[in-house]
Amino acid sequence: MKRLAVYCGSASPEDPRYLELARDVGAGLAERGIGVVYGGGRLGLMGAVASGALDAGGEVIGIIPEALANSEVSNHDCTELHTVSGMHERKQKFTDLSDGFVTIPGGVGTMDELWEAVSWAQLGYHDNPVGLLNAFGFYDDLIAFNRKMADVGFVRPAHQGIIIAEETLSALLEKMESYQPHTPIFKMKASDL
């Protein structure tokens, strides 16, 4: 994995652990020689990921939509900063430039990015690993909900391993490195669906 898209919030929660985590993720990726592709802002967890990576000498590619360039305050310290027309183009560029996805804590936009990465993997638009860093148990309920969707039958057995969840970055990256792509829906027969 040469580059990973990092999905996270642009907010700064009161609990300082979240900003620390984001900085540590950016630094941890840079120290492993993994470039960061992220939302292009300099505020909140987004900015902390970028700062952590840049301070550790890493590559940081920001991708920000025109409409958010001013409200999220674009991070011009990035190695590269791309301004795109909208959210769809932003997510496509994340996919085009990355070898996988890491989601750390965030809000609605982060969930949108995570689920699109999962959905695109399930369908076959990419075959990259989708990691979920469940620091502080932040995603316990989401992991349980994903399991419930699988138990009920809304997530096929072949796709139940798309989300790779771990509590530490090291464990997550290790599992992501050994990820074996599943059979996407585009390659399944009607009888498998």
Instruction: Check: pTM over 0.85? Answer yes or no.
Output: yes
Instruction: Give pLDDT, residue 188.
Output: 81
User: What does the pLDDT average to over 149-165?
Assistant: 96
3-state SS record for 53-86: HHHCCCCEEEEEEHHHHCCCCECCCCCEEEEECC
**HSE-CB for 42 with a 13 A CA cutoff:** 10
Q: At 72, is the pLDDT very low, low, confident or very high (cuts 50, 70, 90)?
A: low
pLDDT at 186 over 90: no
- For the chain, the structural domain boundaries read 3-177
CATH of domain 3-177: 3.40.50.450
CA distance 148 to 182: 20
Q: Residue 122: phi, psi to the nearest 5?
A: -60, -40
Instruction: Give pLDDT, residue 155.
Output: 95
Q: How many other CB atoms are found less than 10 A from the CB of residue 73?
A: 16
